[in-house]
Amino acid sequence: MERKQSTKYLFIIISFLLWFPHFIYVPILSPYMESIGGQYSFIGIVLSSYGLLQLLCRLPIGIISDLVKYRKPFIIFGMFSSFLSCLIYLLTENLWMIFLARSLAGLSASSWVVFTFLFPTFYDDKHVHKAMGTISFIVVLAQLLGMSFSGYLVDEWGWRAPFIIGSIFSLVGMILSFFITEHKNAITMEAFSLKDAIAIIKEPSLLKVSVLSILAHSMIFSTVFGFTSNYALSIGFSTSEITWNVIVFMIPHAIATLFMGRILIPRIGEWRALQLAFLYAAPTTFIIPFIESKGIFLVVQGVNGFFLGIIFPLLLGLAIEKIAKEKRATAMGAYQAIYAIGICLGPLCTGIFNSLFSMKVGFYFVGCLGLIATYLVWQWSPSKRMVYSKEFISSRTESKS
């Protein structure tokens, strides 16, 4: 038991070290590419490559790790890809090499499917949402700390400073990942085939949650992880002040991951919480182009960060809730591969809209995605189906009488 707990804490540290290097440069990546000659459309392509690699790699990683029943090599590979990505950023200003570096970051992020499978094994089955809330908090903490230092590092030591720090943290994470202890027989070794994988992918509840996650990831990777920094600079923020945008977004975002599992879900349920979160995330995205005051901009970012923070751990837990434990890595791989469509297409489409029209149109597009998600949650909510079922039974009873 003690060894399991120590492995759990080591796992948490490595999880932090996977994400911290990815996000220490995120707020400055788009402005950095613009400063060396990148157009909005090309910036959108680079940002979308991060999602494209996840779309292509996450499901195969989930399936293969379920087949071999061994996860550690995928974790080591993920950390190595992260290190190589940061190293390329550091060594070149060529835009196509930056495209390669961002793609490698996407390959590294693809290994997260294994992380999100292993972490819930430290908890009882009935505490899946608590586990997902905790691991989501670690991710958000890494995002918060990484993105908070980004602008300051650039202001003090230049554009490449975040890439130096990212390389060091990735290297440390890769070394620590060799010390993870995992027993092949810790998971029931029952037969698993590609037919099983297809059946899991076609699970209706998984597909619905994945579609909602596409929309949610499109929103966040097109805004705070995409073009929000560009807009902040356009209304008078300095490079170092972008840090405040990150802090006011990420702190409520982090709080929401814990608030969701411990307070919100027990009171109003999963689907109602999802609908509420999307309903508020959409207008706080719509109004960004109308804001010219730094103070109001920061307040809106905080509100947006809180409600998006509710969405992601909720969807993560719902994705594997109805899947057998021995097949959850495949389910998580399918879920993360599908939502990578949003990481890919969201920034790509937003970048195109920004280039063809203006940055305002890009934010309107993202806000519309939030409204679509709100409607879908309302349509798919189990409570809504229950109400319709009761009404149907009542009408049938009345017709018989």
User: How does pLDDT run across 1-20, given as a tens digit for each residue?
Assistant: 555 666 777 888 898 999 99
Is the CB of residue 305 less than 8 Å from the CB of residue 249? yes
What pLDDT shows up at residue 326?
65
Closest listed residue to residue 333, CA positions, set 178, 11, 116, 144: 116
Residue keyed to tokens 């018989």: 400
Task: Identify the segments of the chain with pLDDT beneath 50.
Answer: 184-192, 385-401
Rounded CA separation 319/206 (Å): 5
Full-model pTM: 0.71
Q: What is the average pLDDT value for the chain, to the nearest integer?
A: 80
Is the CB of residue 253 less than 8 Å from the CB of residue 145? no
Rounded CA separation 128/55 (Å): 24
Q: What is the pLDDT of residues 68-111, one digit of tens each?
A: 777 788 889 999 999 999 999 888 888 899 999 999 999 998 88
